[in-house]
A and B are shown apart, each in its own frame.
Chain A
Amino acid sequence: MNKILIGEMSWTDFQEKMKDTDLIIMPVGVLEEHGHHNPLGTDTHIAESAAYEVGKATNLPVAPVLPYGYTTNIINFAGTISLDPILYRDVLKSYCESFIKHGVKRILFINGHGGNTDILQMVSRDLFDKYECLCMYTQWWEVLPQINKEWGCTDHGGYFETSLMMAVNEKIIDMTKAKSLLIFNLPRKLNILMAGNSIMLELMFLQIYTIFKK
């Protein structure tokens, strides 16, 4: 049996595998809300599944997914969990360093969550500076619009992300609860898209509800 998941390999299987490659795939996710219809682990599930498929197709070892990440603006939704960004950086670095000790020289992160992006960039630089380990990351919402202009992928738990999640495991999606509301525009020029990550989305939803009720 050709094993792809490092968690399923024995140490001797892994040693054998590392004779043919110095590249591993590492999926990273987060636990956070994705609307009423999607699971909290959406980003983790997508990253884990994508990493497995890529590993299988390229015969590369895949590390166990890290299910906790960095998220700020949606922390007020139940079930959303965030690590401090510097702690997250240290954890990822430490995780990678262990593999570097075992001969890994290239790491491809499959990132399922936008909040992790900056940290992945930092970790990639850290690991190159310290070990000359080459790291790159891909994020489906950045890759897909460049391949197919019709796939905007500008949503969070919306049309595209929910569709992708369906490909991963449609049993844990409840489409009857799917519902879209316009994101409340902030006064003046501060549109949510431009404002970035520092706005409490929940607050905005409350405001939307209030406006809709009127």
Chain B
Amino acid sequence: MKKVLIEEMSWVEFRSVMADNDLIIFPVGSIEEHGPHNPLGADYLIAKKAAYDVGMKVNAPVAPVMPIGNASNLMGFPGTVTLDPELLRNVLLQVCEGFIKQGAKRFLFINGHGGNTSTIKIVSNDLCEKYKVFSTQTEWWLILKQMSEFPCNDHGGKHETSMLMVVDDSLVDMGKANTVKRKNLTEKLVYEDGLTLNGVSLPSTFPLDKVTPVGNYGARAEEASKELGEKMYETYINYCCELAEEIRKIPMV
């Protein structure tokens, strides 16, 4: 039986995997609301499955998914969990340090949650500075935005819901999918994909429950489909596999 999940390997199996591999795939997620139709675990479920599929294809060990991340702006919605970014940074760093002691020199983070992005970047800097190891991260919505026709500009909307249908469509209840436009902050500070002033988009964080009663936003969740999700998912996985193979070619001292 081919094992890629580290949690399913014995220590001897892991040791022999690491004899000719120094790349670890590390999925990171979050528990947070994604609209009334999607599960709270959306981000970690997508990250976990994507990491597993990439690991299987490129034959690289996959760390247990870190299921909680930073989601402070969604705390107004029941079930959302948030972890201080400093804690998340230290957890990811210490887990990677453990793997570095056992021969890891490259990490590919499969991140399912936008709120984790900046923290993972900091972890990558930490790892580079302290151990001279290589790490990078992929986020399906950022990858697909650049290489496909899918804009992926929603939270629990058309694109994310479609991705989830690929992971497990029994967890999506399309009967509850409902899209409501977010309330603008002022007459001029208005929500398009993100917050904008005069059509220019701005980085911002604002308690989401103050601007929407449903929790999902962006492209209409009602338009989600498994067919769309499969196209997106496959594109993303293929990209990650190519990336993993390239990461392996980086000359490391």
Interface residues of A (CB under 8 A from B): 1, 5-12, 14-15, 18, 31, 33-41, 44-45, 63-68, 75, 77-84, 87, 90-91, 94-95, 98-99, 101-103, 171-172, 174, 177
Considering the chains assembled together, what is the distance between the CA atoms of A172 and B1 in angstroms?
Answer: 9
Are A11 and B94 within 8 A (Cβ)?
no
Tell me which of A10, A40, A63 contacts B7 (CB under 8 A).
A40
Min CB–CB distance B31 → chain A (angstroms): 6
Residues of B78-105 contacting chain A, CB below 8 A: 78-84, 87, 90-91, 94-95, 98-99, 102
| B64→A31 contact, CB < 8 A | yes
On whether the beta carbons of A7 and B41 are closer than 8 Å, the reply is yes
Asked whether, in the complex, the Cβ of B6 is within 8 Å of the Cβ of A31, the reply is yes
Asked if B67 and A15 sit within 8 Å, CB to CB, the answer is: no
* Stretch with Cβ within 8 A of A (4 or more), from B9-17, B197-205, B233-241: B9-17
Interface SS of B by simple majority: loop
* B6 in complex: contacting residue of A12, A41, A90, CB < 8 Å: A41
Which residues does chain B contribute within 8 Å of A34, judged by CB atoms?
Answer: 10-11
Known: A81-B98, A87-B94. A12 touches B18 (CB 8 A): no
Given A10-B34, A81-B99, A87-B90: A33 and B8 within 8 A (CB)?
no
**How far is it, in angstroms, between the C-alpha of A198 and the C-alpha of B170 when the chains are bound?**
46
Assuming A6-B79, A39-B8, A39-B9, is B87 touching A94 (CB within 8 A)?
A: yes
Q: What size tier do the contact residues of chain B reach?
A: 35 or more
B44 within 8 A of A: yes
Contacts of A65 in B (CB 8 A): 67
Cα separation A39 to B98 with both chains bound (whole Å): 17
Question: Smallest CB-CB separation from A174: which chain B residue?
Answer: B10
B171 close to chain A: CB less than 8 A: yes
Q: Looking at the complex, which one of A38, A91, A98, A101 makes contact with B10 (CB distance below 8 Å)?
A: A38
- Nearest Cβ in chain A — how far from B69, in angstroms? 11
CB-based contact B39/A9 at 8 Å: yes
Q: Which of A1, A45, A99, A171 contacts B1 (CB 8 A)?
A: A171
* Distance, CA A87 to CA B66, complexed state (A): 15
Assuming the A-B contacts A44-B7, A78-B12, are A10 and B98 also in contact, with contact meaning beta carbons closer than 8 angstroms in the complex? no
**What are 18 A-B contacts with C-beta separation under 8 Å?**
A7-B39, A8-B41, A10-B37, A11-B80, A18-B78, A34-B10, A38-B10, A40-B6, A40-B8, A40-B9, A41-B8, A66-B67, A67-B64, A68-B66, A83-B91, A83-B94, A87-B90, A102-B79
Which residues of B sit under 8 angstroms from A94, Cβ to Cβ? 82-84, 87
Q: For the complex, give the distance between the alpha carbons of A15 and B18 in Å.
A: 44
Q: What is the chain A residue whose CB lies nearest that of B37? A: A10
Contacts of B160 in A (CB 8 A): none
Q: Which residue of B lies closest to A11 (CB)?
A: B33
Partner of B36, one of A12, A66, A82: A12
How distant is A199 from chain B, measured CB to nearest CB, in Å?
18
* Pairwise interchain contact A11-B18, C-beta atoms closer than 8 A: no
CB-CB < 8 A to A36: which residues of B? Answer: 10-12
Q: Are B64 and A68 in contact (CB under 8 A)?
A: yes
Bound form: Cα–Cα A120–B115 in Å: 27
Contacts of B87 in A (CB 8 A): 87, 90-91, 94
